[in-house]
Amino acid sequence: MAKAAFLSPLVDLVFPPRCPLCGDALAQQGGLCAACWSQLAVPGEPACCTCQRPLPDSVVRSGEVQCAPCMASPPRHAGIAAATLYNAASRELVLAFKRGKRIALADLLSRLMVGRLPELEGEWLVVPVPLHRGRLWERGFNQSALLAARIARSIRQPLVVDGLVRMRRTPSLGGLGKRARAEALRGAISAHPRRAARLKGANVLLVDDVLTSGATTDACLAALRKAGAGEVRIACFARVLDEALDQAGRGDAPLAA
Protein backbone atom coordinates (compact mmCIF):
# COMPACT_ATOMS: atom_id res chain seq x y z
CA MET A 1 0.00 0.00 0.00
CA ALA A 2 2.82 2.40 0.91
CA LYS A 3 4.62 1.53 -2.33
CA ALA A 4 1.46 2.22 -4.35
CA ALA A 5 1.06 5.60 -2.64
CA PHE A 6 4.70 6.41 -3.34
CA LEU A 7 4.31 5.62 -7.04
CA SER A 8 0.96 7.39 -7.41
CA PRO A 9 2.42 10.79 -8.50
CA LEU A 10 4.51 9.06 -11.16
CA VAL A 11 1.51 7.13 -12.46
CA ASP A 12 -0.52 10.36 -12.59
CA LEU A 13 2.27 12.04 -14.53
CA VAL A 14 2.44 9.27 -17.15
CA PHE A 15 -1.30 8.59 -17.18
CA PRO A 16 -3.14 11.77 -16.11
CA PRO A 17 -6.36 10.87 -14.23
CA ARG A 18 -9.37 11.04 -16.52
CA CYS A 19 -13.05 10.31 -16.03
CA PRO A 20 -13.73 6.97 -17.75
CA LEU A 21 -17.10 8.23 -19.00
CA CYS A 22 -16.49 11.72 -20.37
CA GLY A 23 -12.69 12.02 -20.34
CA ASP A 24 -12.54 15.14 -18.15
CA ALA A 25 -9.53 15.59 -15.87
CA LEU A 26 -9.75 14.20 -12.32
CA ALA A 27 -7.83 14.90 -9.12
CA GLN A 28 -6.91 11.22 -8.76
CA GLN A 29 -7.20 7.87 -10.48
CA GLY A 30 -10.13 5.50 -10.07
CA GLY A 31 -13.21 7.69 -9.97
CA LEU A 32 -15.69 9.71 -12.01
CA CYS A 33 -16.11 13.45 -12.44
CA ALA A 34 -18.92 15.12 -10.48
CA ALA A 35 -21.15 15.42 -13.55
CA CYS A 36 -20.85 11.71 -14.37
CA TRP A 37 -21.34 10.67 -10.74
CA SER A 38 -24.66 12.50 -10.85
CA GLN A 39 -25.74 10.46 -13.89
CA LEU A 40 -25.52 7.15 -12.00
CA ALA A 41 -28.84 6.00 -10.52
CA VAL A 42 -28.20 4.53 -7.08
CA PRO A 43 -31.01 2.48 -5.47
CA GLY A 44 -32.37 4.35 -2.50
CA GLU A 45 -34.83 3.92 0.36
CA PRO A 46 -37.46 2.76 0.96
CA ALA A 47 -36.65 -0.53 -0.74
CA CYS A 48 -37.73 -4.17 -0.66
CA CYS A 49 -36.05 -5.94 2.24
CA THR A 50 -35.48 -9.01 0.05
CA CYS A 51 -34.41 -7.81 -3.39
CA GLN A 52 -33.59 -4.12 -2.75
CA ARG A 53 -36.12 -3.03 -5.37
CA PRO A 54 -36.87 0.67 -4.73
CA LEU A 55 -40.40 1.29 -3.42
CA PRO A 56 -42.58 4.41 -3.64
CA ASP A 57 -41.93 7.11 -1.06
CA SER A 58 -45.43 6.52 0.29
CA VAL A 59 -44.27 3.18 1.70
CA VAL A 60 -43.53 3.27 5.42
CA ARG A 61 -39.77 3.43 5.90
CA SER A 62 -39.69 1.65 9.26
CA GLY A 63 -39.71 -2.14 9.41
CA GLU A 64 -39.16 -4.67 6.65
CA VAL A 65 -41.35 -4.37 3.58
CA GLN A 66 -41.36 -6.68 0.56
CA CYS A 67 -42.15 -5.65 -3.00
CA ALA A 68 -45.07 -7.22 -4.86
CA PRO A 69 -42.90 -9.50 -7.08
CA CYS A 70 -41.14 -11.00 -4.03
CA MET A 71 -44.45 -11.55 -2.25
CA ALA A 72 -46.00 -13.15 -5.33
CA SER A 73 -43.01 -15.39 -6.03
CA PRO A 74 -40.58 -15.60 -3.07
CA PRO A 75 -37.01 -15.72 -4.45
CA ARG A 76 -34.59 -18.52 -3.60
CA HIS A 77 -31.85 -16.03 -2.74
CA ALA A 78 -31.42 -14.16 0.55
CA GLY A 79 -31.13 -10.73 -1.01
CA ILE A 80 -29.77 -8.63 -3.88
CA ALA A 81 -27.28 -5.80 -3.46
CA ALA A 82 -27.06 -3.61 -6.58
CA ALA A 83 -24.59 -0.73 -6.78
CA THR A 84 -26.60 1.09 -9.46
CA LEU A 85 -29.73 0.88 -11.56
CA TYR A 86 -28.97 0.13 -15.20
CA ASN A 87 -29.14 3.36 -17.21
CA ALA A 88 -27.06 5.00 -19.93
CA ALA A 89 -24.20 5.87 -17.56
CA SER A 90 -23.89 2.46 -15.91
CA ARG A 91 -24.29 0.80 -19.32
CA GLU A 92 -21.32 2.76 -20.67
CA LEU A 93 -19.19 1.76 -17.69
CA VAL A 94 -20.13 -1.92 -18.08
CA LEU A 95 -19.43 -1.94 -21.81
CA ALA A 96 -16.10 -0.16 -21.36
CA PHE A 97 -15.17 -2.73 -18.71
CA LYS A 98 -16.45 -5.87 -20.45
CA ARG A 99 -16.15 -5.21 -24.18
CA GLY A 100 -13.69 -2.35 -24.13
CA LYS A 101 -11.41 -4.48 -21.93
CA ARG A 102 -10.71 -1.61 -19.54
CA ILE A 103 -10.20 -4.02 -16.68
CA ALA A 104 -8.89 -1.28 -14.38
CA LEU A 105 -12.56 -0.27 -14.01
CA ALA A 106 -13.01 -3.38 -11.86
CA ASP A 107 -11.62 -1.38 -8.92
CA LEU A 108 -14.24 1.35 -9.24
CA LEU A 109 -17.15 -0.98 -9.93
CA SER A 110 -16.28 -3.34 -7.08
CA ARG A 111 -15.93 -0.46 -4.60
CA LEU A 112 -19.43 0.71 -5.45
CA MET A 113 -20.72 -2.85 -5.04
CA VAL A 114 -19.07 -3.30 -1.64
CA GLY A 115 -20.70 -0.07 -0.49
CA ARG A 116 -24.14 -1.62 -1.07
CA LEU A 117 -23.47 -4.93 0.68
CA PRO A 118 -25.12 -5.61 4.04
CA GLU A 119 -22.97 -6.79 6.91
CA LEU A 120 -22.17 -10.46 6.32
CA GLU A 121 -21.79 -12.43 9.53
CA GLY A 122 -19.47 -15.43 9.61
CA GLU A 123 -17.69 -16.87 6.59
CA TRP A 124 -19.04 -16.37 3.09
CA LEU A 125 -17.61 -17.81 -0.10
CA VAL A 126 -17.41 -15.23 -2.89
CA VAL A 127 -18.30 -16.96 -6.18
CA PRO A 128 -18.53 -15.26 -9.60
CA VAL A 129 -21.09 -16.08 -12.28
CA PRO A 130 -19.14 -18.34 -14.64
CA LEU A 131 -18.20 -17.69 -18.25
CA HIS A 132 -17.98 -20.50 -20.79
CA ARG A 133 -14.39 -21.34 -21.65
CA GLY A 134 -14.97 -20.48 -25.32
CA ARG A 135 -16.14 -16.98 -24.44
CA LEU A 136 -13.36 -16.71 -21.86
CA TRP A 137 -10.76 -17.44 -24.54
CA GLU A 138 -12.30 -14.82 -26.83
CA ARG A 139 -12.63 -12.08 -24.21
CA GLY A 140 -9.52 -12.94 -22.22
CA PHE A 141 -11.14 -12.55 -18.81
CA ASN A 142 -14.33 -13.14 -16.85
CA GLN A 143 -15.57 -9.72 -15.75
CA SER A 144 -17.56 -11.23 -12.87
CA ALA A 145 -14.44 -13.02 -11.62
CA LEU A 146 -12.44 -9.77 -11.62
CA LEU A 147 -15.16 -8.08 -9.56
CA ALA A 148 -15.46 -11.07 -7.22
CA ALA A 149 -11.71 -11.12 -6.55
CA ARG A 150 -11.69 -7.48 -5.50
CA ILE A 151 -14.83 -7.82 -3.42
CA ALA A 152 -13.46 -10.89 -1.62
CA ARG A 153 -10.28 -9.00 -0.79
CA SER A 154 -12.21 -5.95 0.40
CA ILE A 155 -14.60 -7.84 2.71
CA ARG A 156 -11.93 -10.36 3.72
CA GLN A 157 -13.83 -13.43 2.66
CA PRO A 158 -12.51 -16.41 0.66
CA LEU A 159 -12.82 -16.37 -3.13
CA VAL A 160 -13.82 -19.55 -4.97
CA VAL A 161 -13.33 -18.35 -8.53
CA ASP A 162 -14.30 -21.69 -10.10
CA GLY A 163 -17.08 -22.64 -7.72
CA LEU A 164 -19.48 -22.69 -10.67
CA VAL A 165 -18.82 -23.73 -14.26
CA ARG A 166 -20.75 -23.09 -17.46
CA MET A 167 -20.96 -26.49 -19.09
CA ARG A 168 -22.05 -25.31 -22.51
CA ARG A 169 -21.98 -22.07 -24.41
CA THR A 170 -25.34 -20.31 -24.35
CA PRO A 171 -26.62 -17.85 -26.97
CA SER A 172 -26.82 -14.15 -26.28
CA LEU A 173 -29.81 -13.51 -24.02
CA GLY A 174 -30.41 -10.00 -25.34
CA GLY A 175 -33.89 -9.65 -26.79
CA LEU A 176 -35.15 -12.93 -25.33
CA GLY A 177 -38.14 -13.10 -23.01
CA LYS A 178 -37.88 -14.42 -19.47
CA ARG A 179 -39.08 -17.91 -20.39
CA ALA A 180 -36.73 -18.13 -23.40
CA ARG A 181 -33.78 -16.98 -21.25
CA ALA A 182 -34.53 -19.65 -18.65
CA GLU A 183 -34.79 -22.32 -21.35
CA ALA A 184 -31.47 -21.24 -22.92
CA LEU A 185 -29.75 -21.62 -19.54
CA ARG A 186 -31.38 -24.90 -18.54
CA GLY A 187 -28.60 -27.26 -17.43
CA ALA A 188 -25.87 -24.87 -18.60
CA ILE A 189 -24.44 -24.05 -15.15
CA SER A 190 -23.39 -26.44 -12.43
CA ALA A 191 -21.14 -26.60 -9.37
CA HIS A 192 -17.53 -27.49 -10.10
CA PRO A 193 -17.07 -31.15 -9.06
CA ARG A 194 -13.83 -30.29 -7.25
CA ARG A 195 -15.51 -27.49 -5.28
CA ALA A 196 -18.74 -29.30 -4.36
CA ALA A 197 -17.49 -30.28 -0.91
CA ARG A 198 -16.52 -26.70 -0.14
CA LEU A 199 -19.85 -25.33 -1.35
CA LYS A 200 -21.92 -27.77 0.69
CA GLY A 201 -23.40 -25.95 3.67
CA ALA A 202 -21.51 -22.72 2.86
CA ASN A 203 -23.05 -19.26 2.59
CA VAL A 204 -22.33 -17.81 -0.85
CA LEU A 205 -22.06 -14.28 -2.21
CA LEU A 206 -22.77 -14.64 -5.94
CA VAL A 207 -21.18 -11.85 -8.01
CA ASP A 208 -22.23 -10.61 -11.47
CA ASP A 209 -21.77 -7.37 -13.40
CA VAL A 210 -25.37 -6.87 -14.60
CA LEU A 211 -28.60 -8.42 -13.33
CA THR A 212 -31.20 -8.32 -16.08
CA SER A 213 -34.10 -10.77 -15.94
CA GLY A 214 -32.47 -12.93 -13.29
CA ALA A 215 -32.30 -15.99 -15.57
CA THR A 216 -28.53 -16.38 -15.20
CA THR A 217 -28.55 -15.91 -11.44
CA ASP A 218 -31.50 -18.31 -11.18
CA ALA A 219 -29.43 -20.94 -13.00
CA CYS A 220 -26.53 -20.26 -10.62
CA LEU A 221 -28.86 -20.48 -7.62
CA ALA A 222 -30.20 -23.83 -8.81
CA ALA A 223 -26.65 -25.16 -9.16
CA LEU A 224 -25.66 -23.89 -5.72
CA ARG A 225 -28.78 -25.36 -4.11
CA LYS A 226 -28.08 -28.69 -5.79
CA ALA A 227 -24.56 -28.56 -4.33
CA GLY A 228 -26.06 -28.01 -0.86
CA ALA A 229 -25.04 -24.39 -0.38
CA GLY A 230 -26.63 -22.48 2.49
CA GLU A 231 -27.71 -18.85 2.23
CA VAL A 232 -27.02 -17.18 -1.12
CA ARG A 233 -26.88 -13.42 -1.65
CA ILE A 234 -26.37 -11.68 -4.99
CA ALA A 235 -24.11 -8.69 -5.63
CA CYS A 236 -24.17 -6.87 -8.96
CA PHE A 237 -22.94 -3.56 -10.29
CA ALA A 238 -26.05 -2.67 -12.30
CA ARG A 239 -29.60 -3.95 -12.09
CA VAL A 240 -32.19 -3.54 -14.82
CA LEU A 241 -35.36 -2.14 -13.24
CA ASP A 242 -37.20 0.09 -15.70
CA GLU A 243 -39.93 1.06 -13.23
CA ALA A 244 -37.36 2.10 -10.62
CA LEU A 245 -35.65 4.39 -13.13
CA ASP A 246 -38.98 6.00 -13.95
CA GLN A 247 -39.66 6.44 -10.26
CA ALA A 248 -36.24 8.02 -9.77
CA GLY A 249 -36.99 10.48 -12.56
CA ARG A 250 -34.22 9.21 -14.85
CA GLY A 251 -35.46 8.67 -18.37
CA ASP A 252 -32.49 6.64 -19.64
CA ALA A 253 -33.94 3.42 -20.98
CA PRO A 254 -31.88 0.35 -20.04
CA LEU A 255 -30.11 -1.15 -23.03
CA ALA A 256 -28.97 -4.72 -23.51
CA ALA A 257 -25.33 -5.16 -22.51
- pLDDT tens-digit profile of 16-67? 678 888 887 766 666 889 899 899 998 877 888 888 888 877 766 556 788 8
Decide if pLDDT at 14 tops 50.
no
Q: What is the DSSP string of 47-96?
A: B-TTT--B--TTS-SSS----HHHHHS--SSS-EEEEEE-SHHHHHHHHH
- pLDDT tens-digit profile of 215-252? 899 999 999 999 999 999 999 999 998 665 554 444 44
| Alpha-carbon gap, residue 163 to 199, rounded angstroms | 7
**C-alpha distance from residue 6 to each of 3, 13, 108, 120, 253 (Å):** 5, 13, 20, 33, 43
In this structure, CATH architecture of domain 40-248: 3-Layer(aba) Sandwich (3.40)
The pLDDT > 90 percentage for the chain reads 47
| Alpha-carbon gap, residue 97 to 101, rounded angstroms | 5
- pLDDT tens-digit profile of 181-211? 777 788 889 999 999 999 999 999 999 999 9
Domain ranges of the chain: 1-38, 40-248
pLDDT at 53: 83
CA angle 189, 195, 199 (to 5 degrees): 85
Q: At what angle do helices 143-155 and 105-116 cross, to 10 degrees?
A: 60
Q: Prior bond to 46 cis, omega within 30? A: yes
**Predicted confidence band of residue 70 (pLDDT cuts 50, 70, 90):** confident
Q: What is the reported pTM?
A: 0.85
